[in-house]
Amino acid sequence: MARSVGFLILVSFCSLFPNLSFEDELAASYVPSPIQASDGTSVSHDENLSLTITVSEAEELINLVPATKELRAKGIDLKWDVQVVPTLNNKVYYFFWIYNVTAQKQGDIGSISVGNYAVNKYTADVRVWQVSDEVSYGDDGVLVTSNELERLQEELRKKHGLNAMMVQQFRSEHLAKRIIPREAAQSAVRLPITERSKDTAEISCWKTSDLLISRLGRSSMISSSAGYRAFAEVEAIAFRPKYRETYSGPLCENRIKLFLAKASESSFQVILASDQSENECVIVGGTDSCGVKGIQPVDWSRDGRFLLANLLLWQYESDSSVTRVPIIYDAGKSEVLRPDVYRFFEGYCPNQAKESCDFELVAQGFSPGGTLVFSASMPPIDPSSGQASCLDKKRPFLFELGANKTTCLPSDYKVRHYGTWSSGSVPKP
């Protein structure tokens, strides 16, 4: 079935953050605060000397880090990337990710990282640190020391006219561009709804790849022969994090609702809502699948008692496809039926379906006798995914709820519809 999900594996420092142009960032001017002694008097500095060490000099320091020397002594080839990271203090530090080229050539990707290091441009200090949210909370890693390293640091400080007072001032600079209060790290503002439509199926917060807005989708009203009226509503709520560096919550949340009014009543009642625990997940192929993002009313049964709808499932910020799952509301018993058509479909049509393959199922309506009619078709095939083609074309099927039995229908079968759609706007619930 079309429910494949891609997994993103972050294996290096350089893949954890978006990179900017290194040359552009280094070219940006930085005018430090006037350097002062503890009594408030200015500390002298030779203005003819460059205040910061160069990238090449920082690389000399990295060459003397004990971890790199130890690995090279074993014949291991090392390289590093100099990173400019938007959330880090690039004005004061050069950031290095050191990796094992020997392991990389052998295809041992899981062990290529040697470590992340930061070199202070104003003190020549070298710090080893871990890529995590703790950096944004003020964790600046650990100073790396060795006799050989300290001798080169002293030489560089003298070369650039960095005296003890200046080293003391810049040594307190954090690795992060800004320090975030831990208690506010997951704070986000809920954005108000600014766009409305009748789409309740595939509605999201993304207006563009970088712009998120909150949307409301409300379907037209569909009435049954028994006098029942129903409509669906979906809110796609966007969130603006206060601190993007540490925020791990959702950027968009979808909330679905299905409303029903009886023939003798004017007010609508919620009969299905995704914020109710029993509706957070549905059974697909015998397995719980969560992430209900949309709902699409399909039709009423001929007797006007059963309402059919498709639930739409997908995961934001992944390459998972959309899965449609049918649900049926029994207005006579006030209960929701959740037939697992995926579990019972595969294998019922051996001439059309193949074992262990992907397919898409979509509820289309009811037969005159009240049996569920759905269509099955091939999902879009990704050549690199290894998916098997299950069906040669889109085909209609019957699904008997009580017997969990699937029956093939002629390819030219036409589904009859019994509900009546209202073209006007639905009343507010």
The reported pLDDT for the residue numbered 47 is: 55
Please say if the pLDDT value at position 22 is more than 90.
no
Q: Which pLDDT score is estimated for 280?
A: 66
Q: Which of 80, 63, 81 is nearest to 72 (CA)?
A: 63
The residue that leads in pLDDT, 127 or 36, is 127
Query: If we measure between CA atoms, which residue out of 111, 102, 151, 116 comes closest to residue 14?
Result: 116
Collapse the DSSP code of 269 into the 3-class scheme (helix H, G, I; strand E, B; otherwise coil) and give the result: strand
Three-class SS state of 156? helix
**pLDDT band at residue 319 using 50, 70 and 90 as cut-offs:** confident
Question: Which pLDDT score is estimated for 374?
Answer: 95
Domain ranges for the chain = 13-179, 188-421
Arithmetic mean of pLDDT over the chain: 85
Going by pLDDT thresholds of 50, 70 and 90, the confidence category of residue 276 is confident
Q: What are phi and psi of 224, to 5 degrees?
A: -105, 170
What mean pLDDT comes out for the span 31-44? 44
Residues of 156-176 as b/e, b for ≥16 C-beta within 10 angstroms? bbeebebeeebbebbeebbbb
Instruction: Say if residue 145's pLDDT is above 50.
Output: yes
More confident residue, 367 or 265: 367
Give the whole-number percent of the chain exceeding pLDDT 70: 81
Give 401's pLDDT tier (boundaries 50, 70, 90).
confident
User: Cα–Cα distance between 87 and 97 in angstroms, integer?
Assistant: 16
pLDDT the model gives residue 288: 80
Q: What are phi and psi of 259, to 5 degrees?
A: -110, 150
- pTM for this predicted structure: 0.76
